[in-house]
């Protein structure tokens, strides 16, 4: 979650130079170049049937393809912190989808924690005059990313019971890169060639490809396997907290008392939502 929080800040830096399609395509390309060889080297006895390929192709449509289109165009229209705050509404909606599609059960503490965290997000998002200082178009793009992530999470839960995290993320990123390729060639290729090489920007892209698009997703799929889709997504509430902090130091975004209050409420909600699981863990250790 810390890596993904930083990714909003770094994406904002990249979008000052490259378009959203180019930014994501390069991330997917580099990430695939790293993960696919690892899959081949550490190949396990994983056999993909037709249904498995259809599922992973569908997962790649929603994330990274739809998700990153929505997220990057949203970041382009709004600030890094606001973008991260909207993306963090995923935990509020994921339990509903997980309940109907995966039959996952949630405790009242879990549900209460989600709503407390969401209230902290709202505090961070809304200004003193109760207005939202963000582009409506940007907000729509970001909520499009939210719904895409929820559907992808449900699909990944089904895949995670059969395949390793490395395999799932490697193929998702490879397929996502292939989905972005036509858009890149048609709309961005000429512009991409005309932009001078910037070491700082490419170092940022490399960081996002290796850590945000590879390592963090591999860890996250493992978390989904052990905690379930709804409980795992609760931790995404940490993203706007870390984004606000990183934005203050890197992008000089304002860090107000309201943001501090929102951060405290978000963390409280996350801790409360996991309270039942913590108690069960303590009892099992005894």
Over its length of 286 residues, how does the chain's per-residue pLDDT go in tens digits? 999 999 999 999 999 999 999 999 999 999 999 999 988 887 767 888 889 999 999 999 999 999 999 999 999 998 888 888 888 778 767 777 777 777 777 677 777 877 887 888 788 777 666 566 678 888 899 999 999 998 988 888 778 778 888 888 899 999 999 999 999 999 999 999 999 999 999 999 999 999 999 889 888 878 877 877 667 767 777 888 889 889 989 988 877 788 788 888 887 887 777 666 555 555 555 5
> 23: which residues sit within 8 A by CB, 6+ positions away?
11, 14, 15, 72, 205
pLDDT of residue 276: 61
Q: CA–CA distance from 58 to each of 80, 160, 219 (Å)?
A: 28, 14, 21
pTM for the full predicted model: 0.83
Q: 270, 235 in Cβ contact below 8 A?
A: yes
Residue 240 CB: number of other CB atoms within 10 A?
Answer: 32
Residue 58: what pLDDT?
94
Q: Which residue reads 């409980």 in tokens?
A: 231
- pLDDT of amino acid 48: 83
pLDDT at 89: 78
pLDDT tens, residue by residue, 174-219: 999 999 999 999 999 999 999 999 999 999 999 999 999 988 988 8
């Amino acid at each position: 979650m810390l890596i993904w929080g930083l990714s909003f800040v770094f994406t904002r830096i990249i979008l000052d130079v490259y378009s959203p399609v180019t930014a994501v395509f390069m991330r997917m390309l580099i990430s695939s170049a790293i993960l696919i060889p690892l899959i081949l080297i550490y190949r396990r006895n994983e056999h993909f049937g037709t249904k498995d390929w259809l599922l992973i192709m569908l997962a790649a449509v929603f994330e990274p393809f739809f998700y990153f289109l929505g997220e990057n165009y949203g970041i382009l229209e709004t600030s890094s912190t606001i973008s991260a705050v909207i993306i963090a509404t995923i935990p509020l909606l994921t339990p509903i989808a997980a309940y109907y599609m995966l039959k996952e059960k949630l405790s009242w503490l879990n549900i209460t924690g989600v709503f407390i965290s969401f209230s902290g997000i709202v505090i961070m998002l809304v200004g003193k005059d109760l207005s939202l200082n963000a582009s409506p178009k940007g907000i729509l793009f970001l909520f499009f990313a939210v719904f895409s992530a929820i559907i992808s999470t449900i699909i990944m839960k089904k895949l995670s019971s059969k395949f390793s995290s490395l395999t799932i993320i490697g193929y998702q990123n490879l397929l996502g890169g292939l989905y972005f390729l036509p858009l890149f060639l048609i709309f961005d290729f000429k512009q991409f060639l005309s932009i001078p090489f910037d070491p700082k920007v490419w170092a940022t892209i490399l960081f996002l490809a290796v850590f945000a698009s590879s390592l963090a997703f591999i860890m996250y799929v493992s978390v989904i396997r052990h905690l379930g889709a709804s409980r795992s997504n609760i931790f995404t509430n940490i993203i706007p907290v870390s984004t606000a902090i990183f934005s203050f130091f890197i992008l000089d975004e304002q860090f107000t008392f309201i943001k501090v209050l929102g951060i405290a409420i978000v963390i409280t909600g996350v801790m409360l939502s996991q309270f039942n699981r913590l108690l069960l863990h303590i009892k099992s250790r005894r």
